[in-house]
A = this chain, B = another copy of it.
Amino acid sequence: LTHDMMVAGVHWPPGEDAADLGWKLVAAAASDLAAMGAQPAGVLCALALGPEAGGPWQAALVRGMGQALGAFGLALWGGDTVATPGPTMLGMTVVGHCEAGAALGRAGARAGEGLWVSGHIGDAGLGLAMVQGRMPKVAALVKRLRRPVPRLALGAALVGRASAAMDVSDGLLIDAGRLAAASGVGLEIDLDRVPLSDAARALGLDPLAAVTSGEDYELLFTAPAGARLPAGVTEIGRVVAGAGLQLVAHGRAVPLPDRLGYEHAV
């Protein structure tokens, strides 16, 4: 079970499309199921609607939520709706299931294992720069920001294969640091191996920018050498004894940037 919250003005800017918000609310919470290798079951939806959330806005929100629920195989079981004089807030409880004891966690990484990530990293960060007007828009990258697809099938396939897993929501480096801390190990990450999409390469995306931007909702996981892994994943480093992160590029150590990703205020 997981619960995620989003606040107007904090987690989304004014004017954001409500259908995209509805999708993202479901996708972000479902990504936590993916990280645990759980099968999706259903959701409870918590809506605190402010004065700015009128009928058409609510209809769009529900349409986007419905599209995501259908796409990810989640049932809408219930929830609560209240009026608020303050900013609109959206909350979602997502429930999944797996075999007893089989859920993936963050604490199982062991020195000598490999570090892997799914898909491409940095696309959503480029999409954010585009919707903030800092770059010309590329539709596929904006879609990666606004309509993320949690890696549910991959997460389920990693059960029994990965030793630790989490989803990349705040940035690959900051999330990798959390996995390392939970497992009591260090992680060495090779920036040359971080998988970038063709669209990101065409825009000259720096791997260091890619690993410090958030909302990719890919899976980051560790696995023993020789583990049979699904397609679409890339080995980007290894688990080492010790603690913290070590970055490498072109075979040489790279200092950690000051900012590893999105730091929550609370």
Contacts and interface: CB of A to CB of B under 8 A. Distances in A.
A202 interface: no
A7 B46 contact: no
Contact of A78 (B2, B6, B77, B78): B2
28 contacts: A1-B77, A2-B44, A2-B78, A3-B44, A3-B46, A3-B78, A3-B79, A3-B80, A3-B91, A3-B93, A4-B80, A5-B46, A7-B83, A7-B84, A9-B85, A44-B93, A46-B91, A48-B89, A80-B91, A81-B266, A82-B264, A82-B266, A83-B264, A83-B265, A83-B266, A85-B86, A85-B87, A93-B93
Contacts of A11: 82
Interface in A40-68: 44-46, 48-50
Interface of A: 1-7, 9-11, 44-46, 48-50, 77-87, 89, 91, 93, 95, 264-266
Given A7-B82, A84-B86, A86-B87, 6 more contacts: A3-B80, A10-B83, A10-B85, A84-B89, A89-B89, A93-B93
Contact of A82 (B10, B81, B84): B10
Nearest to A45: B3
B82 A5 contact: yes
